[in-house]
Chain A
Amino acid sequence: MTIVCILLITAGIFFFFAGAVGVIRFPDFYSRLHPAGMIDSMGLLLSMSGLALYVLSHGGLTGANILTAIKIILIVIFVYITSPTATHAIVDAGIRAGLAPWTKKIKEKSDDDPH
């Protein structure tokens, strides 16, 4: 069981790393949102399930430990509900400000004025 926990947490940290690298490497902020919002949520899901398993397996199946695990799962559910909303809020702000998305053909950020 400990090995499963270690594997899950390591996979989660790997996803976090991929998200951070993606946020740095992608060309504009619309495409940066993809790794920032989604790969990070995946990393959170993996590492949180690893931690919940660790709490359950090493603390024993007492009531307090089960409650703690339920709370950890609740955080994951909460993040998965709110993360699309936050992403949509940022994208909406960008579109309303008139930021044009980076495209392959133009190869430059267009500087049209915000309305």
Chain B
Amino acid sequence: MDSFFLYAALAICLISVLSLYRAIVGPTILDRIIGVNALGTKTTVLLIIIGVLFGRVDMFVDISLAYALLNFMTVLASARYFHKKKGLHGESLIQK
């Protein structure tokens, strides 16, 4: 059972790389926010799996909850910040 969780954690890490691709390449800033948001959702599950592997789920579940909160706040704050900002279309900020 432990090896199953190990492989599950490994799979989630590999899938996170796919989300990271969107966060790095994404043409607009909002694409990057989406990528980071998807990454945070996967990390929430990953933290619980790490807790199961270490046998300390009771401790890691709190970290996971805090991470979910933080993820939500990050998305909300950055979406508000880029409300009327330039650079959303991927163009250079200096020319305009």
List residues of A whose CB falls within 8 A of some B CB: 2, 6, 9-10, 12-13, 16-17, 19-21, 23-24, 29, 32-33, 36-37, 40-41, 43-44, 47-48, 51, 54-55, 58-59, 64, 67-68, 71-72, 74-75, 78-79, 82, 85-86, 89-90, 92-94, 96-97, 99, 111, 114
How many of chain B's residues touch chain A, expressed as a range?
A: 35 or more
Assess the A114–B15 pair: CB atoms within 8 A.
Answer: no
The answer to whether A89 and B35 touch (CB under 8 A), given A82-B72, A114-B86, is no
Q: How many A-B residue pairs have CB under 8 A?
A: 138
> What CA separation (Å) do A21 and B38 show in the bound complex?
11
CB proximity of A63 to chain B, nearest CB, Å: 11
Residues of A within 8 A of B75 (CB): 86, 89-90
- A17-B11, A29-B28, A96-B83 given; name 11 further pairs at CB < 8 Å: A13-B15, A19-B38, A36-B34, A36-B38, A48-B48, A55-B57, A59-B57, A74-B65, A89-B76, A99-B89, A114-B88
Assess the A72–B86 pair: CB atoms within 8 A.
Answer: no
A-B contact pairs, 6 of them (CB 8 A): A13-B12, A37-B37, A43-B41, A68-B57, A85-B72, A96-B84
| 1/0 contact string of B13-39 vs chain A (CB within 8 Å) | 001101101100010101101110110
